[in-house]
Structure 1
Amino acid sequence: MKENNLFSANAVFVSDASDPTTIFKEVSDKLLALDLVNDGFFNGINQREQQYPTGIDTSPIAKELPNIAVPHTEGEFVNTCLIVPVALKASVSFKNMIAPDQSLPVKFLFMILNDNPEGQANILAQIMDFLRLTSVSKLQTLFNLTETDKIYQFLSENFSRQ
């Protein structure tokens, strides 16, 4: 298995929360306990999501894929550079990044932790490349996984860092 330092086995989550704020609180508490973020992270990511929504409509890639979100906040609130995958047991409504007045049912989050502000767009581009270049069947496999170790293994094997 090739090493992929954009993911950490202990920073992969599955949530049954039903709204973004609850998901962010749940994940923030775990990331804080791992010292991957500081205590301003929850408020930072929650406020940023309200001002700059991160829901992404994946139907241009393939109609059968669930929508995703890529929540993130300023580097001052994080201590590392990671992508934190969060599988959602049920779809959760997120505002659309492109059309913020619209909501999307989202099933998977790629939460970006980046302590280097210049790298934010680069990580988002890598996520978009992963979605665009990975087969629909493989993406469907990923989005249906509900065990953190299997999600980590899948991403470690299939997400290539450019």
Structure 2
Amino acid sequence: MVWEKLKPELIIPGLEAESSDDIFEALGGELVKQGYCKESYVQALKDREAEFPTGINTGERGVAIPHTDVSHVLKKGIAIATLKQPVSFMEMGTDDEYVKAQVVFMLAVDEKGHLELLQAILGILQDQDILKKLAQAKDAEEVIEIIKEKENM
């Protein structure tokens, strides 16, 4: 279950960001500060995003799931930001389509189990009602509760 892996200190509701780099600095910076990732993590996110975009068009509200190579990760973690205003991310698998992301799940993953984790997150994020609730969440505990309810349906 994704919700069991979430930590309130890695969730930023209502993040003000103008670009994906702003999100990488804020959310990735938190993963570094909390001891989940090495100092190199934020730049590695930016570099990987340029080559392998992580925006996902889920319909009304876009999402992004940035992550990078395991060599920048100290321990597994998931950081989440909901954005005050949507931010453009290049759509996964394209080089000319953009997604207006409003919810970002940033992953610090190791070799084991990251595909299962991605699938579980995608299962949550494909639900437009859940995305709407996440985008409107006031605090970290509410974000966790919304995901817990979805996973326990």
Q: Which residue in the other structure is 1:90 paired with? A: 85
Give the Cα separation in 2 of the matches to 1:50 and 1:150: 32
- Report Cα offsets for 1:91-137 as digits up to 9, x if no partner: 101000032211111101011111x22422221111112234x5x43
Give the Cα separation in 2 of the matches to 1:30 and 1:37: 9
CA gap of 1:51–1:151, structure 2 versus 1, over 3 A, is same
Q: Which residue in the other structure is 2:130 paired with? A: 138
Return the letter of the residue paired with 1:38: K
Q: Which residue in the other structure is 2:44 paired with? A: 44
Please state whether the residue corresponding to 1:158 is helix, strand or coil. helix
Aligned residue-pair number: 151
Structure 2 residue 119 is the aligned partner of structure 1 residue 120: no
Return the letter of the residue paired with 2:106: M
| Structure 1 portions without partners, runs of 5+ | 60-64
Give the Cα separation in 2 of the matches to 1:130 and 1:3: 9
CA gap of 1:26–1:3, structure 2 versus 1, over 3 A, is closer
Q: Which residue in the other structure is 1:107 paired with? A: 102
Q: Which residue in the other structure is 2:27 paired with? A: 27
Please state whether the residue corresponding to 1:5 is helix, strand or coil. helix
CA gap of 1:3–1:73, structure 2 versus 1, over 3 A, is closer
Preserved contact between residue 85 and residue 111 of structure 1 (Cα < 8 Å): yes
Give the Cα separation in 1 of the matches to 2:4 and 2:130: 21
Q: TM-score, normalised by structure 1?
A: 0.83
Deviation of the 1:27 alpha carbon: 1.6
- Report Cα offsets for 1:10-44 as digits up to 9, x if no partner: 11113101100111011222222211111110111
CA gap of 1:159–1:11, structure 2 versus 1, over 3 A, is farther
Percent identity reads 22
CA gap of 1:117–1:69, structure 2 versus 1, over 3 A, is same
Preserved contact between residue 130 and residue 146 of structure 2 (Cα < 8 Å): no
Give the Cα separation in 1 of the matches to 2:96 and 2:72: 27
Tell me how large the CA RMSD over aligned residues is.
2.1
Q: Which residue in the other structure is 1:62 paired with? A: none
| Structure 2 portions without partners, runs of 5+ | none
- Report Cα offsets for 1:20-70 as digits up to 9, x if no partner: 0111011222222211111110111111011100000002xxxxx300000
